[in-house]
Amino acid sequence: MPPWEPPTNGTEVEHLVGSLERLRATFRWKADGLDAAGLNARLPSSALSIGGLLSHLARVESEKFTEWLRGEPIDEPWRLVDWDADPLWDFTSAARRTPEEAYELYDAAVRRSRERLAAALADGGLDQQAHIGSPDMVVSLRRILFDLVEEYGRHTGHTDLLREMVDGRVGEDPTDDFAWPR
């Protein structure tokens, strides 16, 4: 069984984390191996690009496991962004990155998220409470993970369409030879 496949029988944590890992792997496979032109290709009616989605999902990973879960400031490069001046910064800034920088931004965010998630699960499990933005908005780690699964589901679908437009790559799961950067 591929390393990104969720367990067929497991605990709630194993299924939830396994589903997230499968979506991460599928997204990363669909985004993998593109040059700058491929990363920046867009449909005429949309601001979305695969490079922008790499940037956006890296920010979402950071946001969920720093601001939401730990109440800490978001990681760089997002911390100093003037979001009021450029609310689509994830997407507009992506065109200024090399492919290597785009992939590393995403891969590093996922590595940090895995470490933070493992620590959080060891320190209180899915029921632990997190304050997202205000003391009145309390959610569990379970909710954070479900939100992340939803985010990946939506944007992996977008990446499907963009990748098919760029070079015709289609498919539901990574191929067996995909060497997912972990």
* H or E, element range at 39: helix 36-40
Residue 155 has pLDDT above 70, yes or no: yes
Domain that holds residue 154: 12-167
- Identify the pLDDT of residue 29: 95
Mean pLDDT of 25-47: 94
Buried b (16+ CB within 10 A) or exposed e, 103-116: bebbbebbebbbeb
pLDDT grade, residue 130 (50/70/90)? Answer: confident
Q: How far apart are the first and last CA of the chain?
A: 17
C-alpha 11, offset from chain centre: 23
Structure tokens at 96: 């200024």
> Does residue 173 lie in a domain region?
no
Mean pLDDT of 97-102: 97
> Does residue 2 lie in a domain region?
no
- Identify the pLDDT of residue 133: 65
H helices of 74-178, in order, are: 89-94, 99-122, 141-167
Mean pLDDT of 140-169: 95
% the chain with pLDDT above 90: 70
Residue 31 has pLDDT above 80, yes or no: yes
Q: Which residue has the higher pLDDT, 173 or 121?
A: 121
Amino acid in the structure at residue 64: K
> Does residue 176 lie in a domain region?
no
Mean pLDDT of 25-36: 96
- Identify the pLDDT of residue 134: 66
CA dist., res. 72 & res. 130, Å (int)? 11
> Does residue 62 lie in a domain region?
yes
Evaluated on CA atoms 8, 10, 15, 21, the torsion sign reads: negative
CA dist., res. 35 & res. 96, Å (int)? 13
- The rounded mean pLDDT for the chain is 91
Read off the pLDDT of residues 41-97 as tens digits, 9 standing for 90 and up.
998 889 899 999 999 999 999 999 998 888 888 888 999 999 999 999 999 999 999
Closest to 21 in 3D by CA, of 126, 141, 113: 113
Instruction: Give the CATH number, domain containing residue 125.
Output: 1.20.120.450
> Does residue 104 lie in a domain region?
yes
Evaluated on CA atoms 71, 62, 24, 93, the torsion sign reads: positive
Structure tokens at 109: 């965010």
Q: Which residue has the higher pLDDT, 172 or 93?
A: 93
* Token pair 């908005």: residue: 137
Number of structural domains found in the chain: 1
> Does residue 71 lie in a domain region?
yes
> Does residue 32 lie in a domain region?
yes
> Does residue 174 lie in a domain region?
no
